Amino acid sequence: MASGTPAVVVARRDGTLIAQNAPSRRLMGPGTGKLCWDVVGGLDEAEGLPCQTNCVGRLLNDGLERTQRADLKLAGRSHRLTCVPVNDCVVCVLNCGADRDPDKWQLLTHREQEVLSLLAEGDETPAVAEKLEVSESTVRTHVEKMRSKLGVRTRAALVALGFRLGYLT
């Protein structure tokens, strides 16, 4: 994570890791096919990890409003672990410098934050458009602008990064 890119893993309901980015592989070793709480929870020199057996399933059963955030120490440095239920998976983002504010280019408008909040609640484009009284095209435009600003490819990554940057709690 020296480059500042967060370590990200994605786990299915049963806890099996189905995806992992390069910073995660460097930090935790290859984990695809293994249990999330063994891979993330097995970090050497980590203090304050919330990982425990079947934490992924419990988080999914609790729903999106139960996103888990934990500030921890890893090798003496502050980190934040954010685990976000998305569909039937959990996206876990481990970021160094948990107290860092978003960079200027990562700042979202008030309307983008409203859209992001509704996405984090699990709303799809039509529901977001109805709640904000705008067209579905406008919602898609907001999502694309946020994805571009924050440098992510998927809505799940957008929501996970929204938590990491403090837009969502």
Please tell me the predicted confidence (pLDDT) of residue 114. 93
CA–CA distance, 159 with 46 (Å, rounded to integer): 25
127 or 61, higher pLDDT: 127
Which one, of 103, 122, 50, lies nearest residue 80 by Cα? 50
What confidence category does residue 2 fall into, taking pLDDT thresholds of 50, 70 and 90? very low
Whether residues 91 and 110 fall in one domain: no
Please tell me the predicted confidence (pLDDT) of residue 103. 56
Please tell me the predicted confidence (pLDDT) of residue 1. 43
pLDDT digits (tens, 9 = 90+) for 22-80: 888 988 999 999 999 999 988 877 888 889 999 999 988 886 567 788 888 887 778 88
Whether residues 13 and 81 fall in one domain: yes
Look at residues 96, 115, 130 and tell me which one is the last residue of a structural domain: 96
Q: What is the CATH number of the domain that holds 33?
A: 3.30.450.20
Please tell me the predicted confidence (pLDDT) of residue 88. 87
Residue 46 lies in a domain: yes
Whether residues 125 and 70 fall in one domain: no
Please tell me the predicted confidence (pLDDT) of residue 147. 87
Please tell me the predicted confidence (pLDDT) of residue 142. 95
The domain of 29 spans: 7-96
Whether residues 13 and 71 fall in one domain: yes
Other CB atoms within 10 A of residue 10 CB = 21
Using the predicted structure, report yes or no on whether residue 124 has a pLDDT greater than 80. Answer: yes
Look at residues 38, 64, 96 and tell me which one is the last residue of a structural domain: 96
Residue 1 lies in a domain: no
Look at residues 63, 96, 129 and tell me which one is the last residue of a structural domain: 96
Q: What is the CATH number of the domain that holds 119?
A: 1.10.10.10
Whether residues 15 and 90 fall in one domain: yes
Whether residues 119 and 157 fall in one domain: yes
Please tell me the predicted confidence (pLDDT) of residue 141. 95
CA–CA distance, 117 with 45 (Å, rounded to integer): 34
pLDDT digits (tens, 9 = 90+) for 73-118: 887 778 888 888 888 899 998 887 644 555 555 678 889 999 999 9
Residue 2 lies in a domain: no
pTM of the prediction?
A: 0.59
Amino acid letter for position 132: L
9 or 2, higher pLDDT: 9
Please tell me the predicted confidence (pLDDT) of residue 139. 96
Residue 169 lies in a domain: no
Domain count of the fold of the chain: 2
